[in-house]
Structures are given as C-alpha cells and as structure tokens.
Chain A
Amino acid sequence: MTPAPTARRRCLLGGLAAVLLTLPPLAAAQAQALNVFNWNDYIDPAVVERFTRETGIAVRYDVFDSLETLEAKLLAGRSGYDIVVPTNEPSFSRLIAAGALQPIDRAQVPNWANLDPVLMKQLETSDPGNRHGAIYLWGTIGLAYNVGRVRELAPDAPTDSWRLLFDPTLARRLAPCGIVMMDSQIDVIPSVLRYLGLNVNSTAEADLRRVEQTLMGIRPHIRTFASGGVIELLASGQACLAFTYSGDAIQAADRAREAGRGVDIRYVAPKEGAQLWFDVLAIPRDAPNPNAAHRFINFLLQPDVMAAITNTVHYPNAVPASKPMVEEAIKNDRNVYPTEEDFARFFTVTAVPQAAERARSRLWARFKAGR
C-alpha cells in the first residue's frame, strides 16, 4: 500500500477553494451520470472506476473539505448532487430537519444488511430509525502528540487524558514545542464539555462560560489554529500536540515514520471520552438521479469495496464483513479500530438550536481572538 492520501480536514479555506473550484454539476446535461459530493481524499479512486465499469453509470466526483460548504450548498437547494457525505453532527441531523435529504429506499439497498447494527444504533441519535443515511466511515476526535517531545517537556503528563491539552499548567509546559487547536467549534466545544464532566449537548450559559474559561486558560499557549495542515505540522515536528481527527493523527504518524527523523506521533482518544463521528452516505431530496444514488450506496456497502476504502484512507468503516480484508496494520491499530472498552467511552452529540449555535460561535470567536 502506498502512503495513504487521507486527510479529512474541516478546513475553512479549503472549503472556500472548493466553492471556487467546483461548480455544481449540470444536472440536465448529465441526467445519467451520478454526482457525488464527498470529503476530499476520502475514497479509493479504483472503487469509483469499478462502479462505473459494473453499472455503466458515469460518476462526477466533486469534493468539499468543510461541512459548512456542504450545508450551504444543500440548503440553497438544487445542488445537483445525488450523493453527499455529511457528518452526523451537526450537519446530517440538521439537513434531515431542514428536509434536505430524502429517505433511503432499503429495498434498493440489499447490502444495508452488511452494516454494523451497533454503530447504526449510535447514529440513531442523529437520525431516528436510520431512515436517511448509511455510515460510510467513522472515527473519533482526540489528541495527537509527539511522544518524544511531550516526554521531554512534561514526563509526568497523563497522555491518555484531555488534561494534556486543557490543563493550563500542562499546556504551558508543552507550549514551547507547539500546540495546535483545530479551528472548529462544533468539534472542540463538546469535547471541552465532556472534559468538564458536563452534558456534551449543553446550551446552558453557565456551562458555556466554564468552557470559555477552560479554553481561555490555554489560549496563550496555543501556537496556531489549524485550518488544515495539522498532519504536516505534526509530522515535521513543528507541533507536538494537536486537537485533531483520529485519521489525521494516524496519517501524521505514518508520514513522520517515513520521514525517518525520529518523530513519533501517537493518537489518543482521551479516557474522559472522545466524540464519535460518522460520515453518512445520504441522498439530497432534489437529487437528479436517485436510482443511481441508491445503486452507489449499495455498491459501497459491499465488504470488499469497503475494505479497499479503509485500506486507502485509514478510517474504519461500518461493514464488519470487510474486516478480514483490511490490512493487518490498520486492523490491529487500536486507534483505527477501537476495542470495545474504548468504544464505551465514546460519545455522540446532537445538534443545538440556532441561538445556542450563535452563542458558541461567539465563544469561539472570543477564544480565537484571546479576549
């Protein structure tokens, strides 16, 4: 396997670039084609070719790298896409509520049976009855750290806890080697709530105030808010601690190993609990080609197809039957396929109302500004 080009970056500007570069497909002109809108670097290209070969359906494949881009396009209507891949929270649930997604006709998706019922059950918090989507890939949000540097600066630090980042005294000690914060309020705030032992979906003012206090406490020690590029920063040794996605962390570790400069990157889903996310295969309500969309979902849910994708992008899938075909190194990586006991500590979130969302935006803006 060549170095996996995975990067699942919720990058603001990447999103911008995607808006600039990808025009909505011309639905009328491409009536027969299937229009897919997925995260960038998030599939095995051979899989798409195989789908076209087997079905004769051409695939127009566009990529986004921020949920904001995806949502804005779908909420504007007539996006022209047949398949979209929103993350369960906040986008998937909100798109369902906005009526932007159509229910999936399971009769057309026999491979639905391949899906892991445990994971699908988790997804029900966003989509009761699993009517609107099938899990594509999933993962957690946690901490990636440079083993050598952290040991050097804070040998006594608990590397399995959110304290590594959120405890100001530890953050201060680690600041010299570079702390990178993910620039994404929807991912960070629930994790802080969890670290504080509060309800991860809380909209209570007092709770958010505590979140803000916690974040402000470590604000002086943050070197950069990353809009993408975390992998590079970690792998090159420019950063030693990052709040990031599991896949990105694994990717960074791979790259650091290849560089062979003694940088050892590890990912941890902290013991207090890590947010679980699912990227979901869904069909927009106004999809021009829903039949092809159903066939594509059915195609992807085959064990060998899913195994190929996981082998490429290093994220786990939700088709257990694919596991025998997944490469050993990936399969046995606790960070990719968590153990059951790990899994018990993971949590999911639900969307918050708009007013609360704004309050969080404000909190985040103040945090970034450091005032």
Chain B
Amino acid sequence: MRLRLPSGRTLVLALPFLWLSLFFLAPFLIVAKIALSEAALGIPPYAPVLRWTDEGVLTVVLNLGNLATLFSDPFYFDAYLRSLRVAAISGLLCLVIGYPMAYAIARAPEHRRNLLLMLVVLPFWTSFLLRVMAWIGLLADNGVINNLLLAAGVISQPIQLLYTDFALYAGIVYCYLPFMVLPLYATLSKFDPVLIEAAADLGARPWRAFLTITLPLSLPGIIAGFMLVFIPAVGEFVIPELLGGPGAQLIGRVLWMEFFTNRDWPMAAALAMVLLLLLVIPIAWFQHMQGRASR
C-alpha cells in the first residue's frame, strides 16, 4: 500500500485550524484546567487536576467551587457588570466621537485622506503606557488642565479630574478611538454619497437621510468598531488602574487581585474563563450580523 501525502488543499485548510488549536484552544484548555483545580501553596500554586492515588489509579479531581463562588458572590457579578457597562459606554462614546471623524475623513479630498488616516493611527507610534501616563500629566491636580484653568481664573481650587470616571472614560476613549474610526472609515469610504442625494431628492431632510440611509448602511462598520472597542475595554486593566477612581473595581482589577494579591490562580483562571465566555457571545452576534450584511 502506498502512503498518501495529504494534498495541498488539506494542508491549506488545516493551517488555520492548527494555528487556532495551538494558540487559542490549547491556552484556553490550560486556563480551564487551572480554573477547575484547587488553590494550593506550592509551585505552581494549585493542585493538579489529574492525580495518582496511592493505589496507582489516575483520578481526576475537579473543583467547581471557584465557578460556584463566582456565580454566588455578588462581588464578582458586580465587577463584571461594571466592566461591561464601562466598556459599553466607552464604545458608545467612541462611536459618537469617531463617527463624525470617520465621516469627515471619508468625505475629505482623496489626497488628504491618507494624511488624516495617518494622524488617527499616529498615537500608536508611541508606547501605550506612555500615552496613558501623559493623561496623568494633563489631568492631575497640578496638571496642564488645572493649571490653565487656574491661570485663567476659571477656578480657584484645582478640580479633581484624575482618578475619576471622567479620566477613566477619557483614557479608554482616547486609546481605543482609532479602533472605532478605522472600520467606520472603511465602511463609509465605500458609501456612495449619491444615495444621500437620492434620499434628499425623494424628500428626506438631511437628518432623516442620515438616519434612514447612511446609518443603516454603515452598520457593519459601527458594529465592527464597537466590538473592537468593547471587547478589549471589558478586560482593560491599565487605564482604570492609572486614571480611574478607586471606586472602579473592574473585572481586570479583580482578576489581578485574585492572581497577584490572593495568589489564587484557579479563581483568577475561572474569572478569565467566564470573561472569555462573556465576550464570545457578542463576538458570535457580530459574526452573525456580518454574515447577514454580506449576504
């Protein structure tokens, strides 16, 4: 019998699966395994799921306690909820700010578009951490904004900007805005402005034309942009930590606390797993919407 090599087609198809199983499935299973084990003092700081008993029998010891705690303790639920809310508000703010930007770029003269797009992406050329730190310099009690307001005589005492929800949203919106603008631009640049004329011609006032034509047709870009902001913002740790107020116990912070302060790796892993599942739902919805749009 001859050994048949897999055909090129099979290989091409197998490649993404291999990639996904290596870099997504495998890490996920590791996290899942840790989530289902029990915390212990040792290296690593959790008990193995697979254990040999004294009689030489391999046993699986699953600890569902972490997941149970997660769902029974409102502390975690609140943190998830707060994170989802912060991410959703950030996504909406990015949309409100990013949409006019993307629209303006898409309508700008062709030779200027690339420059404008480059300006949107420009912040990525510097370190993320540095950019967040720069906001501290802007918002601190003796920061640029307060000093300017003081100098202008608008205020007599520095107003608290840093470590507030305002700072938190400013940071997230600032950092994630390009992720909103770029997909929106991609959709809006494909949008034929003659459709707006057609709508106007048929009696639609500008605002109505926007709502009935432009907005629905840019929905794929809106969803893509929102997801690109929302998903990372849910687990965002650095920005709330650096800019947000102490009241903002977001899930990223809780996860950090479980992992580092409590050294409860299984709990942290369980938190991460649930976070992932929380994000899979909107992503699946997004895919569904995209499928519908391209049909």
* B residues near A69, Cβ cutoff 8 Å: 260
Per the 8 Å Cβ criterion, residues 65-116 of A in contact with B are: 66, 68-69, 71-72, 74-77, 94, 97-100
Q: A362-B75, A371-B247 are in contact. Are A185 and B43 (CB under 8 A)?
A: no
Q: Which of A13, A69, A97 is packed against the most chain B CB atoms within 10 Å?
A: A13
Among the stretches B217-225, B238-246, B271-279, the one at the interface with A is B238-246
Contact B247 A368 (CB under 8 A): yes
Contact B246 A185 (CB under 8 A): no
Contact B75 A369 (CB under 8 A): no
Q: A77-B44, A97-B41, A357-B261 are in contact. Are A236 and B142 (CB under 8 A)?
A: yes
* B residues near A370, Cβ cutoff 8 Å: 246-247
* B residues near A365, Cβ cutoff 8 Å: 75, 249, 254, 257
- Bound complex: CA A74 to CA B44 (Å): 9
Q: A68-B261, A69-B260 are in contact. Are A77 and B43 (CB under 8 A)?
A: yes
A69's closest neighbor in chain B, by CB? B260
Q: A69-B260, A185-B261, A361-B261 are in contact. Are A368 and B43 (CB under 8 A)?
A: no
Per the 8 Å Cβ criterion, residues 245-275 of B in contact with A are: 246-249, 254, 256-257, 259-265
A367's closest neighbor in chain B, by CB? B246
> What's the nearest-Cβ distance from chain A to residue B127, in Å?
10
Contact A369 B247 (CB under 8 A): yes
> What's the nearest-Cβ distance from chain A to residue B238, in Å?
7
- Bound complex: CA A361 to CA B249 (Å): 12
B142's closest neighbor in chain A, by CB? A238
The answer, among A13, A99, A227, A238, for a CB contact under 8 Å with B43, is A99
* A residues near B246, Cβ cutoff 8 Å: 225, 368-370
Contact B241 A99 (CB under 8 A): no
* A residues near B254, Cβ cutoff 8 Å: 365
The answer, among A71, A99, A362, for a CB contact under 8 Å with B263, is A71
Q: A75-B45, A225-B246, A365-B249 are in contact. Are A354 and B262 (CB under 8 A)?
A: yes
Dominant secondary structure at the B interface: loop
* A residues near B39, Cβ cutoff 8 Å: 354
> What's the nearest-Cβ distance from chain B to residue A23, in Å?
17
Q: Is the CB of B42 closer than 8 A to any CB of chain A?
A: yes
Q: Is the CB of B165 closer than 8 A to any CB of chain A?
A: no
Contact A354 B247 (CB under 8 A): no
- Bound complex: CA A69 to CA B39 (Å): 18
- Bound complex: CA A43 to CA B44 (Å): 30
Q: Which of A15, A69, A224 is packed against the most chain B CB atoms within 10 Å?
A: A224
* B residues near A224, Cβ cutoff 8 Å: 163
Interface string of A11-26 (1 = CB under 8 A from B): 0110111001000000
* B residues near A76, Cβ cutoff 8 Å: 43-44
Q: Is the CB of A358 closer than 8 A to any CB of chain B?
A: yes
Interface string of A288-304 (1 = CB under 8 A from B): 00000000000000000
- Bound complex: CA A358 to CA B76 (Å): 13
Q: A76-B44, A369-B249 are in contact. Are A354 and B241 (CB under 8 A)?
A: no
Contact A227 B241 (CB under 8 A): yes
B129's closest neighbor in chain A, by CB? A17
Contact B41 A94 (CB under 8 A): yes
Q: A13-B242, A68-B261, A354-B39 are in contact. Are A238 and B247 (CB under 8 A)?
A: no
* B residues near A98, Cβ cutoff 8 Å: 41-43, 45
* B residues near A75, Cβ cutoff 8 Å: 42-45, 263, 265
> What's the nearest-Cβ distance from chain A to residue B157, in Å?
9
* B residues near A361, Cβ cutoff 8 Å: 257, 261-262
The answer, among A12, A99, A238, A354, for a CB contact under 8 Å with B264, is A354
> What's the nearest-Cβ distance from chain B to residue A283, in Å?
14
- Bound complex: CA A362 to CA B142 (Å): 32
Per the 8 Å Cβ criterion, residues 37-93 of B in contact with A are: 39, 41-45, 75
- Bound complex: CA A362 to CA B75 (Å): 8
> What's the nearest-Cβ distance from chain A to residue B211, in Å?
40
> What's the nearest-Cβ distance from chain A to residue B150, in Å?
14
B133's closest neighbor in chain A, by CB? A13
Q: Is the CB of B141 closer than 8 A to any CB of chain A?
A: yes
B246's closest neighbor in chain A, by CB? A368
Interface string of A269-293 (1 = CB under 8 A from B): 0000000000000000100000000
- Bound complex: CA A100 to CA B246 (Å): 33
- Bound complex: CA A236 to CA B140 (Å): 13
**For the complex of A and B, 5 pairs with smallest distance between CB atoms:** A68-B260, A368-B246, A369-B247, A77-B43, A98-B41
A and B contact pairs by CB, cutoff 8 A, 30 listed: A12-B241, A13-B242, A16-B238, A20-B129, A68-B260, A69-B260, A71-B260, A75-B43, A75-B44, A75-B45, A75-B263, A75-B265, A76-B43, A94-B41, A100-B43, A225-B246, A238-B142, A354-B39, A354-B263, A354-B264, A357-B261, A358-B262, A358-B264, A361-B262, A362-B75, A365-B75, A365-B257, A368-B249, A370-B247, A371-B247
Extra pairs beyond A357-B261, A362-B75, A365-B257 (4, CB < 8 Å): A354-B39, A361-B261, A365-B254, A369-B247
